[in-house]
Amino acid sequence: MNSIQLQDYIRDIPDFPKPGILFKDITPLLADSAAFEAAIDQMAAHYEGKQIDVIVAAEARGFIFAAPLALKLGVGFVPVRKPGKLPFSTHSFSYELEYGTDTLEMHIDGVAEGQNVLLVDDLLATGGTIKACANLVEKIGATVTGCCFLIELKFLDGAAKVAPHECFSLIEY
């Protein structure tokens, strides 16, 4: 399975969802079980043996990688969702995207003070989403162990926004 080039499974869609955005479409990778499995295995290999209590990820695409990674690492998964979707009491936080602004929510009992949290998403662009998640985790008194992505758009320098937390990605543009 080492011969799989994950980059080959990412499709470029120009001007989506807005003019000037080159959208990185992950659906070809998801449609190929060997490529999808290779991505999860490579993420798990990077974090194997590290102190992680829980994985936190934002909907929708973050869930796709966070859930199998949580199972593989043997830790829980805490969903961060768009407003009005979570049934229990929530923390709510707003942030900026490459193509707009958004608000996310997490259950107040999702992450506990003192826990080590791995943040997972499909893609790091401006870093707005992951920085907002990291801020919330730290406000709760938990520690961000790292930030894991399938794709990193290096030219947008999202990693600088999340520093000093480590950003690990499998594909860089």
Ligand X SMILES: Nc1ncnc2[nH]cnc12
Ligand Y SMILES: O=P(O)(O)OC[C@H]1O[C@H](OP(=O)(O)OP(=O)(O)O)[C@H](O)[C@@H]1O
24 binds ligand X (CB under 6 A): yes
Q: How far is the CB of 16 from ligand X (least distance, A)?
A: 8
Q: Which of 132, 142, 63 lies closest to 103, judged by CA?
A: 132
Q: Give contact residues for ligand Y (rule: CB under 6 A).
A: 58-62, 97-98, 102, 121-129, 158
> Residue of minimal CB distance from ligand X?
125
What's the closest the beta carbon of residue 2 comes to ligand X, in angstroms?
Answer: 26
Instruction: Mark the segment that binds ligand X (CB under 6 A) among 17-25, 29-37, 76-84, 135-143.
Output: 17-25
Minimum gap (Å) between residue 49 Cβ and ligand Y: 27
Of 6, 86, 123, 147, the residue at the interface with ligand X (CB under 6 A) is 123
φ, ψ at 116 (rounded to 5°): -100, 120
Contact call for residue 136 and ligand X (CB under 6 A): no
Q: Which of residues 141-170 bind ligand X (CB under 6 A)?
A: none
Catalytic residue positions, numbered: 61, 98
CA 12 – CA 76 distance, rounded (Å): 32
Shortest Cβ 12–ligand X spacing (Å): 9
Binding interface with ligand X (CB under 6 A): 21-24, 98, 123, 125
